[in-house]
Amino acid sequence: MIKQSSNQSDDLNETPLISGISHAQQAAITRVIARAGQLLQAYNAESRLIEQTTERLGIAFGLDSVEIALTSKAIILTTRFGDNCITTTRTMKAHGIDMGIVCEVQRICILAEKKIYDVQQIKQRLDNLDVPKHNAVVVACFVALSCACFSHLFGGDSIIFICTWFTSFIAMRIRQWLTQLHHNLLTVFFITAFTATFIGSFASALGWGNEPELIMVTSVLQLVPGFPLINAVSDMVKGHVTIGMARWMTATLLTLASALGVVLAVQLAQQGGWL
Amino acid sequence: MRELLLILVDDAVFAGIAAFGFALLFNVPRQALLACVLFAASAHAVRTILLHVNVPIEWASFIAATLLGLATVPWSRKVVIPRPVVTVAAIIPMIPGVYAYKTMTGLMTLHHQGYSVELQQQVVENGLLTIFILIGLSFGLAIAPVLVYRNKPIV
């Protein structure tokens, strides 16, 4: 154990962690574990990963066990040491998908397991997570390129490829802008799908490329909720049925919101007479 | 034979680029990006080969996802990164997005234009295809932790 000088950590170092843990120490450890679990859940990690990571952190800090109950909106965990139990609840504030943070929390967990960091250091690292984000314009360029690649995989020619790139680039920029303004995810998906289809409908109306419809279909593919869907099924397979259902429903709602956007744009185009 | 090879290369390249875009969107860390692209490209190519020999698409997706899941285990151990970080982005090119949207827009047209058997047939067919491919993909990914590494953490 590394001795800490600050007052806050005095309670952590009054006795070595291996032989016994005081109530105050256990509470501090519980707070750190809850923070790690909360981060993992907020950034869309799989339930099994949250369960394993919190449990491993608890064992690494010398606790007997960590029991965790996950709901789609909160995380409830109990740490046990001897006859002492501490239970705490954290609500989940969804932050979207960020695998960088999930990796970082996992790495911190392994550092704790190898006894490289103590509780105080882990707490500091979790509080000051510094995960670089990719540049927004670059991300938009490559997501648009992804959609363009989909159009190629579905048999579009090079004109379709370029048109899809432009359409989905604009849609993606709008999506990033709306996300930045902290809009509801469903609204973001609805508006993005609407813009993508609306812009795409002009290209389709002009009859560019071999299959003009493809521009409209594939530029919306950036909105496919792949993460919630895969997480939903893998949660259900591993026994977290309720949370899996919640994720599946989220994914369905997101698909529905984007489909609504698509339908509205198509109907507008048909009313306008260019489709 | 040469044509098949060309199709495969084309397929793998474009699937790889598609996965790269989504990996950036999910903020996958730099050191995992290349692996993500390679896994995505090879998984998609495997599925295309299977489709070429007339395996149904849901089984082809399942087998491709299983192989992807097993292949990521040694990699994930080596670089200490949890598997979902790469597997989900790598599987995105295989997700039946077009079928899902056709199902949803079909449902809405069904409401808008009134009931017709052809429309309902399209909705049911596309919907079933979406669900079965998705289940195939995610069960495939779950094979490695569920069957091989029962309750032990992989990383």
Contact A233 B105 (CB under 8 A): no
| Higher local confidence (pLDDT), B61 or A19 | B61
**Chain A residues with CB inside 8 Å of B19's CB?**
146
The range of the structural domain enclosing residue B47 comes to 2-148
Strand order from edge to edge, sheet including A74-81: A65-70, A74-81, A84-91
In a domain? residue A212: yes
Note whether A179 and A257 are same-domain residues.
Answer: yes
Tell me what pLDDT residue A117 has: 85
CB B92 within 8 A of CB B138: no
Contact B18 A153 (CB under 8 A): yes
Q: Provide the residue-wise pLDDT of chain A in tens; the chain has 275 residues.
A: 444 444 444 444 444 445 578 888 899 999 999 999 999 999 989 898 999 999 999 999 889 999 999 998 899 999 999 888 999 999 988 888 899 999 999 989 998 988 888 888 889 888 888 888 889 999 999 999 999 999 998 888 899 999 999 999 999 999 999 999 989 999 999 999 999 999 998 888 888 888 888 888 889 999 988 888 888 988 888 889 999 999 999 998 998 899 889 989 988 988 887 77
The range of the structural domain enclosing residue A203 comes to 136-272
Contact A227 B80 (CB under 8 A): no
Tell me what pLDDT residue A9 has: 45
Domain boundary among A127, A156, A188: A127
Q: How confident is the model at residue B18 (pLDDT cuts 50, 70, 90)?
A: very high
Shortest CA distance from A231: residue in chain B: B138
Q: How many domains does chain A have?
A: 2
Q: Does A122 touch chain B (CB under 8 A)?
A: no
**Chain B residues with CB inside 8 Å of A100's CB?**
27-29
In a domain? residue B153: no
B-facing residues of A in 194-253 (CB < 8 A) are 217-218, 220-222, 224, 226-227, 229-234, 237-238
Tell me what pLDDT residue A19 has: 55
For chains A and B, CB pairs below 8 A equal 155
**Chain B residues with CB inside 8 Å of A147's CB?**
21
Residue B98 corresponds to which tokens in the numbers above?
A: 């077009």
Contact B145 A238 (CB under 8 A): yes
Note whether A162 and A49 are same-domain residues.
Answer: no
**Chain A residues with CB inside 8 Å of B95's CB?**
224, 226, 229
Nearest CA distance, B6 vs chain A (angstrom): 13
Note whether A18 and A144 are same-domain residues.
Answer: no
Contact B84 A231 (CB under 8 A): yes
Q: Span B10-23, mean pLDDT?
A: 93
In a domain? residue A82: yes
Domain boundary among A78, A101, A127: A127
Nearest CA distance, A222 vs chain B (angstrom): 8
In a domain? residue A232: yes
Note whether A85 and A145 are same-domain residues.
Answer: no
- DSSP output for chain A: -PPP-SGGGGGGSSS-TTT---HHHHHHHHHHHHHHHHHHHHTT--HHHHHHHHHHHHHHTT-SEEEEEE-SSEEEEEEEETTEEEEEEEE-------HHHHHHHHHHHHHHHTTSS-HHHHHHHHHT---PPPPHHHHHHHHHHHHHHHHHHTT--HHHHHHHHHHHHHHHHHHHHHHHTT--HHHHHHHHHHHHHHHHHHHHHHT-SS-THHHHHHHTGGG--HHHHHHHHHHHHTT-HHHHHHHHHHHHHHHHHHHHHHHHHHHHHHHHT--
Nearest CA distance, B70 vs chain A (angstrom): 15
Domain boundary among A106, A127, A148: A127
Note whether A93 and A144 are same-domain residues.
Answer: no
Residue B132 corresponds to which tokens in the numbers above?
A: 């079965």
In a domain? residue B104: yes
Query: For position A104, which CATH number holds?
Result: 3.30.1300
Note whether A156 and A78 are same-domain residues.
Answer: no
Q: How many domains does chain B have?
A: 1
Note whether A168 and A93 are same-domain residues.
Answer: no
Tell me what pLDDT residue A2 has: 44
Contact A259 B81 (CB under 8 A): no
B-facing residues of A in 20-59 (CB < 8 A) are 45-46, 48-49, 52, 56
| Higher local confidence (pLDDT), B9 or A273 | B9
Note whether A47 and A118 are same-domain residues.
Answer: yes
Note whether A23 and A115 are same-domain residues.
Answer: yes
Nearest CA distance, A250 vs chain B (angstrom): 14
Going from the C-alpha of B131 to that of each of B97, B103, B126, the distances in angstroms are 11, 11, 9
Contact A233 B134 (CB under 8 A): yes
Question: Which of A173, A220, A229 should be substituted to probe chain B, the one whose Cβ sees the most B Cβ atoms within 10 Å?
Answer: A229
**Chain B residues with CB inside 8 Å of A229's CB?**
95, 134, 138
In a domain? residue B144: yes
In a domain? residue B12: yes
Tell me what pLDDT residue B151 has: 65
Shortest CA distance from B127: residue in chain A: A252
| Residue B155 pLDDT exceeds 80 | no
In a domain? residue B154: no
Note whether A118 and A63 are same-domain residues.
Answer: yes
Contact A149 B85 (CB under 8 A): no
In a domain? residue B131: yes
In a domain? residue B67: yes
Shortest CA distance from A54: residue in chain B: B153
Contact B145 A56 (CB under 8 A): no
In a domain? residue B40: yes
Tell me what pLDDT residue B49 has: 93
